[in-house]
């Protein structure tokens, strides 16, 4: 299938110099956004770090002042394009992901020039729109009621093939020790230990589930992520990638091995909630939260 390429103003073109070698490309710089390296957002019990160097995507989630995720990773959406590779959050090695719009809303009001620190009383919402080849991508994060709501919408300007897309990356700290996954009507369908006992990288879950949870013992806290909605086409699967000393990273993979037609539009929604308890009782409490999120979101 013929791919359609966008001309990126912010991209750096390599040329051959007089020595016959290609000089190194300059790092890609975000083409929109505030003139800050980082923005820290506080809303209720949640803290969200936003980073310029990852094209204004999240850089860390904290609950009750304790980090639940690592900064040494990426959050957002990534496309795997046949014969090209990854394009999207922090994957600028093949092509950039230029932003087309960026908006910040604090307690329902748009903030044109956000500062390095944002204090929200009720809600914080952040919307970024970008272009990945012939696809428009709109990603939205909202903090409210001590929960993180995430929405990703993909639109195809022209048709094209995809290996897959993954949304809602959550790079949980490498100290996370355990996970759960559940399906409505079936209960817990997968659980396991995530400690670094074998020193191996591996994926766990690897199936369609309605929710997934992890426990982080340093903070004595857990997190539960529930898929709220997804398109009928290309049903998703959930994965947690266990990488020793790096992270326990959640992915929602969708549109695998797909030929996406022109005019396609699909939206995925997820909510993440948190709780605190001793490790011995975390499974029961996380399951209760997962059930609450089904009807109370």
* pTM across the whole model: 0.89
Residue 269 domain flag:
yes
Q: Domain residues for 144?
A: 38-295
User: Between 197 and 40, where is the model more confident?
Assistant: 40
Are the beta carbons of 50 and 34 closer than 8 angstroms?
A: no
Q: Which long-range contacts (CB under 8 A, 24 or more apart) does 85-93 make?
A: 87/132, 87/133, 88/132, 88/137, 89/54, 89/55, 89/57, 89/169, 90/54, 90/55, 90/57, 92/27, 92/28
Does the pLDDT of residue 1 top 90, yes or no? no
Phi and psi, residue 79, nearest 5°: -100, 140
Residue 254 domain flag:
yes
Average pLDDT, the chain: 89
Are the beta carbons of 274 and 101 closer than 8 angstroms?
A: no
Closest CA to 183 of 41, 274, 34, 291: 291
**For residue 131, what is the domain's CATH number?**
2.70.98.10
Among 79-93, 183-197, 261-275, which is the least confidently predicted range?
79-93
Residue 28 domain flag:
no
Residue 117 domain flag:
yes
What's the number of domains the chain is made of? 1
Residue 16 domain flag:
no
Is residue 245 very low, low, confident or very high in pLDDT (cuts 50, 70, 90)? very high
């Amino acid at each position: 299938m013929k791919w359609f390429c966008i001309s990126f103003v912010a991209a750096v073109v390599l040329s051959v110099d007089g020595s016959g070698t290609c000089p190194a490309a300059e790092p890609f710089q975000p083409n929109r956004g505030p003139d800050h390296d980082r923005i820290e957002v506080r809303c209720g019990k949640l803290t969200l770090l936003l980073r310029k160097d990852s094209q204004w995507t999240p850089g860390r989630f904290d609950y009750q002042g304790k980090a639940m995720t690592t900064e040494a990773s990426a959050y957002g959406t990534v496309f795997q394009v046949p014969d090209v590779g990854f394009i999207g959050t922090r994957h600028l090695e093949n092509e950039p992901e230029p932003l087309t719009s960026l908006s910040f809303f604090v307690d329902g009001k748009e903030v044109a020039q956000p500062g390095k620190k944002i204090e929200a009383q009720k809600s914080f919402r952040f919307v970024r729109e970008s272009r990945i080849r012939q696809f428009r991508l709109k990603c939205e994060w909202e903090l409210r009621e001590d929960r993180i709501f995430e929405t990703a919408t993909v639109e195809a300007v022209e048709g094209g093939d995809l290996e897959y897309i993954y949304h809602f990356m959550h790079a949980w700290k490498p100290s996370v020790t355990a996970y759960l996954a559940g399906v409505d009507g079936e209960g817990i369908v997968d659980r396991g230990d995530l400690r670094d006992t074998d020193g191996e990288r591996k994926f766990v879950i690897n199936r369609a589930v309605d929710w997934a949870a992890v426990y982080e013992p340093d903070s004595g806290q857990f997190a539960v992520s529930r898929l709220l909605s997804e398109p009928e086409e290309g049903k998703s699967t959930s994965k947690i990638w266990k990488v020793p000393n790096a992270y326990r990273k959640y992915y929602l993979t969708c549109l695998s091995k797909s030929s996406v037609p022109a005019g396609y539009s699909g939206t995925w929604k997820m909510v993440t909630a948190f709780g605190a308890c001793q490790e011995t009782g975390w499974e029961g409490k996380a399951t209760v939260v997962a059930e609450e999120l089904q009807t109370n979101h």
